[in-house]
Amino acid sequence: MGASRTCILALLFAAAGVAAAGEPLADLLARARALALSQGPAAAYELLAAAEDEHIGEIEFDYALGRAALDAARPDRATLAFARVLALNPSHAGALIDTGRAYLALGNAAQARATFEAVLSLDPPPGIRDQVLVLLARASAAPAGRLALRGYVEASAGWSSNVNQSPAAAQVFVPAFGANFDLAQQNVAQSDSFLALAGGLDAALPVDGSLALIGGAEFLQRWHRQQTAFDLGAVGLRGGLELAGEERLTRAQLVLMRSDLGHDPARETAALALEHIKSLRSVGALSFFAQGGAFHHPLESLRIFDANFLTLGATLQRLGERSSALVGVAAGGEDDTGGNPAGDKRLFAVRAAGEMRLTPRLSLSAGAAWQRGRYDQVDPSFLLERDDKRTDLELGLQQALSQGLFLRIGLTWTEQRSNIPIYAYTRDEAWLGLRHEFR
């Protein structure tokens, strides 16, 4: 009975191969996807393998064949198919990532590491980068677990048209008093040049094949030439757990952050951050995130801005052969705990960003974001419920000088419109930076 069943299956797959001969590639791939859903990855692999002689050398077919082989626990065959893809397109991100996975399945950690490093050199979007970093940590870890570290340091210089994010007008009309009032000089837009230093470190310690302890730290310091009262500083720490699968990543972290303004403590934040990233077959990632916690302001004069907050959102990221793109949405709010006269805040935001590789060493990036913040209490001075709308645009060029060393140029424009004029402002910034990434 067993031998008969084997013969029958062999005849069926042979018949499938005959049927596939001469079949348009799009139809063949559609049938393979349907077969994978109905009968499993092994059936899809056999269908595509039967058509290999006809379509070998076509990037779309070879990539689909490699993915099917990988899903069918045939990593040896997968590496052959992906190698054909990369021979024609060495920067095919999907084939690179899956080649690394295949090497991991074969126990070839050295080649897996080299492949994942090649993916990271393409500067993928954040969600995909995070997944590759987890795979790289797994490939780099000894059987008992070894700490994997990555980080960066960046120095930059630039100019800002509005370092204090204030309105340009020196007078404002206050409806509650029916009169114009002069704003203090520190509350009117001030331009200045600046120097900045930033750095960060990511750490992962695999516990087993899928679970890892993770953590990190970041710092930022920005010094202004004249407006030193608006010098900025921030330091953050985070740590938690990460659970990784072949095409998914889930992590939970505790985040602590402290920021300074003019060398005085300005805000302390404590939050729990949750994120789930799902890899998509179209060489991208869909991620969902949630952050909840509290803002606390050490200075008595700022404590009216204390609040509890919660933000929920999602991003869709795509990594192409020479470009990457990201779109995201977020919504949430801040519940006042310090006596803010504007009350509680509700927030909605959208963001889009993309990057294109112009040459092997030069890339162009652009981004746009829009957010709206609405408060639920009438401001006693302006007799309105505060309503802010903010738009951010950014443009950047990055030149790779050597392995891990980058020269970066950036331009940003911000406009915040508000029905309460003291919260409305515009700002332009330009900067030049040198960044070193290490591991």
The CATH number for 287's domain is: 2.40.160.40
**Same domain, residue pair 164 and 98:** no
Domain span holding position 430: 149-438
**Same domain, residue pair 273 and 316:** yes
- Say how far apart CA 307 and CA 295 lie, in whole Å: 5
| Inside any domain, residue 136 | no
Continuous segment of H or E residues that includes residue 284 = strand 284-296
**Same domain, residue pair 117 and 164:** no
**Same domain, residue pair 153 and 58:** no
Residue 39 confidence (pLDDT): 83
In this prediction the pTM is 0.77
**Same domain, residue pair 211 and 328:** yes
| Inside any domain, residue 129 | no
| Inside any domain, residue 398 | yes
% of the chain exceeding 90 in pLDDT: 44
Question: CB within 8 A of 102, min separation 6: which ones?
Answer: 66, 70, 75, 76, 78, 79, 82
| Inside any domain, residue 227 | yes
| Inside any domain, residue 264 | yes
Low-confidence ranges of the chain (pLDDT < 50): 1-21, 142-144
**Same domain, residue pair 115 and 236:** no
- Domain at 108, CATH number: 1.25.40.10
Closest CA to 405 of 376, 375, 434, 425: 434
**Same domain, residue pair 250 and 311:** yes
Total domains in the chain come to: 2
| Inside any domain, residue 170 | yes
Residue 22 confidence (pLDDT): 55
| Inside any domain, residue 405 | yes
Residue 350 confidence (pLDDT): 98
**Same domain, residue pair 237 and 165:** yes
Residue 283 confidence (pLDDT): 64
Q: Is 66 helix (H, G, I), strand (E, B) or coil?
A: helix
**Same domain, residue pair 303 and 174:** yes
Q: Are 168 and 190 in contact (CB under 8 A)?
A: no
**Same domain, residue pair 303 and 172:** yes
Residue 225 confidence (pLDDT): 95
- Say how far apart CA 125 and CA 280 lie, in whole Å: 13
Query: What b/e string do you get for 218-256 counting C-beta neighbours within 10 Å, with b at 16 or more?
Result: bebebbbeebeebbbbbebebebebebeeeebbbebebe
**Same domain, residue pair 262 and 378:** yes
Q: What are 127-142's pLDDT values in tens digits?
A: 677 777 777 767 765 4
